[in-house]
Structure 1
Amino acid sequence: MLIIGEDDQNWCPCESAIDMKAMMERAGNSHLLTVLSYPNAGHLIEPPYTPHARSSLFKDVISHQKFMVLWGGQTLEHSRAQEDSWRKLLVFLRKNLYGDVKTRASLVSNL
């Protein structure tokens, strides 16, 4: 499963996703690839309710020089992408780890 924020300012995930999709198609495995793409979402689409940061400031260990990394994304759209992708990721994992999408109660009883 590939989760893409279309407003990613760190690198262009769309190009990588296109490459991966083409590779999977050439290998006859396109049915194994799920791509979730979210407009106006940034680079770090983490679990829901994780604070959204459009950028981060880092300090190089050796040179002690500070530099900024841009992640992108608009807060509302990014938050919605977090919620939607998390739900879909859990369904994907349940299906592929347990062989079927089951209710939470039955999953707990099978552990």
Structure 2
Amino acid sequence: MRNLIGKKKSDRDYVESVARRLAFWDRWRVLLLIVFAVVIASMVAFFVFLFNFVHDLNPNNALGVNVNKIFLLVAFLLGAAFGMHLAAAIVYFANALITGFRSERLLVRYFDERKSAS
């Protein structure tokens, strides 16, 4: 098996690297879970702060021009951007919890069973 540089790896080396990567993710899973939860909570808190900030702005600027529509547009665009980021973070987080490197775990288990059988 070749990687991007062209260095040839044996199957055993590849499976060992996958096993090391799985062990790394198993060690850091709880910390990453906490980090993702904090990031999502901070995104929600930022959205609430931003909503309150836009809501509390003076609807009339110094020239007396009503800028409610501009504030509404800015709030809508920021809300849409925040919503897309939050949805992507939740989908990524849920996918990480559900899949959990299943194919890599099966590869390592199959290789270990095959090695012990021969």
TM-score, with structure 2 as normaliser: 0.29
More helix by share: 2
Give the number of the structure whose alpha-carbon radius of gyration is greater.
2
TM-score, with structure 1 as normaliser: 0.31
